[in-house]
């Protein structure tokens, strides 16, 4: 991200995953190993959610890749 990079990094640094969260345990026990994120630099929702997803993917060793929506319009 370029437009919201500073805000995204700030959210990432300040966010902590909850301890003993049942939802994380369910994901951990599932067969999920990859996440596809369709996003854009200007998207405020992405700025808020991608840092959280990054924490989850790091904790659970899930590969997460982002694709820019506006690059694939055709």
CA-to-CA distance for 11 and 45, rounded, in angstroms?
Answer: 12
Each residue's pLDDT tens digit in the chain (74 positions)? 778 889 989 999 999 999 989 999 898 889 889 999 999 988 889 899 999 999 999 999 999 999 988 886 66
SS3 assignment for the chain: CCCCHHHHHHHHHHCCCCCCCHHHHHHHHCCCCEEEEEECCCCHHHHHHHHHHHHHHHHHCCEEEEEEHHHHCC
CA-to-CA distance for 20 and 13, rounded, in angstroms?
Answer: 20
């Amino acid at each position: 991200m370029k437009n919201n990079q500073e805000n995204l990094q700030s959210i990432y640094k300040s966010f902590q995953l909850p301890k003993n969260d049942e939802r994380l345990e369910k994901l951990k026990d599932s067969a999920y190993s990859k996440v596809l994120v369709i996003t854009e630099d200007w998207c405020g929702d992405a700025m808020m959610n991608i840092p959280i997803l990054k924490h989850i993917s790091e904790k659970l060793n899930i590969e997460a890749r982002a694709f820019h929506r506006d690059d694939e319009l055709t």
